[in-house]
Structure 1
Amino acid sequence: MSVRFNHTIVAAKDKVRSANFLAELLGLPEPQPLGHFLVVKLSDGATIDYIQTTDDFVGQHYAFLVSEDVFDSLIDKIRSRGIEHWADPRGHRRGEINTNDGGRGVYFQDPSGHYMEALTVPYGGW
């Protein structure tokens, strides 16, 4: 039996704002409601299901493997909108991207404080 990732639930202070932020930056389809969730569908069929909460939560890390053209578009949007971003997970290389493993990568936060990462080559290379 194979195993594939299907979905995860992400807590959000404002699920509409967070879901639209991610979908728009990554060039994904408009988020769709599903019960209590607002669902962002990724290219491989997996989904990020945003749920609104007033509870306190710790920001989580979500990493996305993206194509070169999606990365180019993402970086253009991040820079043109003045979204803070880093080349490293600790935020020491502010305003930069990395070239780890022969690809490119960037870290940024979503409106709810989750740490998003986009990379063009998986860790360890292909």
Structure 2
Amino acid sequence: MTHDNASPGIQLNHTVVHASDRAASARFLAGVLGRTVGAPFGPFLPLDLDNGVTLDYYQAPEGPIQPQHYAFLVPDAEFDGMIARLEAAGVTYYSDPDRTRPHETNRLFGGRGAYFADPDGHNMEILTVPYVRP
């Protein structure tokens, strides 16, 4: 398998985030990240990220939402503001993915990170340095 050298290669373009209230969930994450929710696109409510990836919030049918994990690489200069917005909204953040250390951030790989739940229980993560893999 080959790809054109002029092509950027394989990239994630968008993903669908199921929500019990797509507008409330999209506004929640947009507020934490300091972004704006886009105009509806068919059944989706998009939240565009700086690297061209879009989270397409979708109104899930009746029934439980299966929680997923979404991790966002954020600028260190914006991290404290995101934590402040979580605190202002009364949302508990954690230093670990199992959510056992509330109101703490981590310092993994020389950066900072935190986990929090969105309105449907999706495990959201903000981190300032990507994880180092062997």
Structure-2 separation of matches of 1:57 and 1:22:
17
Structure-1 separation of matches of 2:20 and 2:59:
6
Q: Which runs of 4+ in 1 moved over 4 A?
A: none
What amino acid is the match of 1:3?
Answer: I
- In structure 1, the partner of 2:91 is 83
Selected match of 1:56 from 52, 64, 74? 64
- In structure 2, the partner of 1:36 is 43
1:27 equivalent to 2:34? Answer: yes
* Corresponding residue SS for 1:23: helix
- In structure 2, the partner of 1:97 is 105
Structure-1 separation of matches of 2:38 and 2:87:
23
Q: Percentage identity across aligned positions?
A: 45
Where does structure 2 lack aligned partners over 5 or more consecutive residues? 4-8
Where does structure 1 lack aligned partners over 5 or more consecutive residues? none
* Corresponding residue SS for 2:116: strand
Larger radius of gyration: 2
Count of equivalent residues: 125
Provide the TM-score with structure 1 as the length reference. Answer: 0.94
Contact 2:112–2:128 (8 Å) recurs in 1: yes
